[in-house]
Amino acid sequence: MNHEVPILLVVDDRPDNLYVIEQVMGEYLPACTVYTAPNAETALRLAIEHHPDGILSDIQMPGTDGIQLCRQLKAHPETSHIPVVLMTAHKSEVNLRVEALDAGADDFIAKPIDNVELAARLKVMFRIKQAHDKLDLANLQLEEKVAERTFELQEKIKQLEQSEEGLRTRESELIRMNSELERFAYTVSHDLKSPIITIKGFTGSLEKDLLSGNYQRMAEDLKRVSDAADKMVDLLRDLLELSTIGRAINTPEPEDMNLLVDDVLAQLAGPLKNSNLTVEVQTGLPKVLCDRRRMAEVLQNLVENAINYIGDQTEPRIEIGVRQEAGENIFFVQDNGIGIDKKYHQLIFGLFNKLDANSQGTGVGLALVKRIIEVHGGRVWVESEGVGMGSRFCFTIKEAPQ
């Protein structure tokens, strides 16, 4: 459970020790909420009730000692994920430390306690807990989305089986769905694996840093863990957005493309100014039949894509307009950026396909554009003469009746 304010549970049978630790927390971590327990039984009850971000427990206590309490906490499904730091006056006793590690202890601190060291170790423990909570939330969201998609596919299969036409097309439909799911599973597992590996790797480094007292490197490792968790959240957000296209689209209505473009450019005023970009918008754009919010997403993604890949042009420029071919309106967002080799013209509309791995974004933007335009019954493609020649992203959409 992720708390806005970190929660610490302190377990010690001596009231004077509890008082000292409360004073330390008030001085070094004033934003932290502290609960105290005089024994293991009370500690287990408070841990289940409040879900603290960390537990600091003395080892030597009458009845159930700190090591036994640690075993109980790690065995309970509601508290097994909570980091436990044990306080001991027997730092040199190797057997005691081995027994505590076997019980699941995450760290030790020796008495008499150094206040600065205690505060530093608790800060690290809270940050590690927050990173783990982010990862748990991301995994939960992914599991829920997979279950939802599985249910929808099952319902679709039932509908196909209920009609003769569905039976004739069932094989080809299933092949397409399976292919889409395979591509989806591959891209998700591939791109989510990287931040997970980063988090696991640097969690190990943090444990070594804790034992060695290397707080400077500890802060750097924590930053990498946090960045990896944020990347995973961004990927999941974009994937959830992509999965809703086609199921959460409003009834298309006549919309003024001039006003839509103006609204999108107003939202992107900051990035456009920072990139020193000049934007030229063709006047008299025709009205179209669309879901306004989704069409705004199309324009925003195409303009953001142009910003990200404008390169080092001395006079960066974006043009938004429309042309007619064979009686059909073709809208376009054109830039004078780095351009795209023809062999990548189809590839860039796939999930996570980024020509520059160091560029901003998750690589889902153009896949969103493709899905939205196709749901509206249109087509989308890119025109570029090659590297350094700029790009023109084109799409068709039904014109609103006069």
Give the tens place of pLDDT for each residue, 155-176.
887 776 676 665 666 676 567 5
Q: For 278, phi and psi rounded to 5 degrees?
A: -100, 130
- Scanning 251-398, the segments in alpha helix (DSSP H) are 257-267, 269-274, 292-308, 365-375
Q: Which residues pair with 289 in a beta bridge?
A: 254
Does this model's pTM top 0.75? no
What is the rounded distance in angstroms from the CA atom of residue 184 to the CA atom of residue 181?
5
Q: Please give the residue that has the higher pLDDT: either 215 or 38.
A: 38
Q: What percent of the chain has pLDDT over 90?
A: 29
Would the pLDDT of 213 be above 60? yes
Q: How many CB atoms lie within 10 A of CB 120?
A: 17
Kindly state the DSSP code that residue 76 receives in the 8-state scheme: S
- Give pLDDT, residue 194: 63
- Give pLDDT, residue 208: 80
Tokens 């009845």 map to which residue?
A: 63
Tokens 């097994």 map to which residue?
A: 80
Q: Please give the residue that has the higher pLDDT: either 279 or 141.
A: 279
Please tell me the number of Cα atoms within 13 Å of 348 on its side-chain side.
24
- Give pLDDT, residue 228: 72
The tens digit of pLDDT for each residue in 296-315 reads: 989 999 999 899 888 888 89
Would the pLDDT of 357 be above 60? no
The tens digit of pLDDT for each residue in 311-355 reads: 888 899 999 999 999 889 999 999 999 998 888 887 777 655 555
- CA–centroid distance for 29 within its chain: 28
Compute the average pLDDT of residues 66-89. Answer: 89
Q: Which residues pair with 323 in a beta bridge?
A: 330
Q: Which of 125, 121, 128, 105 is nearest to 58 (CA)?
A: 105
Lowest mean pLDDT among 11-15, 33-37, 182-186, 275-279: 182-186
Q: Please give the residue that has the higher pLDDT: either 131 or 282.
A: 282
- Give pLDDT, residue 203: 77
- Give pLDDT, residue 10: 92
Compute the average pLDDT of residues 82-101. Answer: 78
Lowest mean pLDDT among 110-114, 165-169, 266-270, 317-321: 165-169
Q: pLDDT band at 280, cuts 50/70/90?
A: very high
Question: Cα-Cα-Cα-Cα dihedral of 211, 215, 220, 226, to 10°?
Answer: 70
Mean pLDDT of the chain, nearest integer: 82
Q: Please give the residue that has the higher pLDDT: either 165 or 382.
A: 382
Compute the average pLDDT of residues 128-141. Answer: 79
The tens digit of pLDDT for each residue in 142-154 reads: 888 888 888 888 8
Quote the tokens at residue 335: 């830039």
Q: Which residues pair with 393 in a beta bridge?
A: 333, 382
- Give pLDDT, residue 146: 83
What is the rounded distance in angstroms from the CA atom of residue 298 to the CA atom of residue 33?
45
Would the pLDDT of 114 be above 90? no
Q: pLDDT band at 394, cuts 50/70/90?
A: very high
What is the rounded distance in angstroms from the CA atom of residue 60 to the CA atom of residue 54?
19
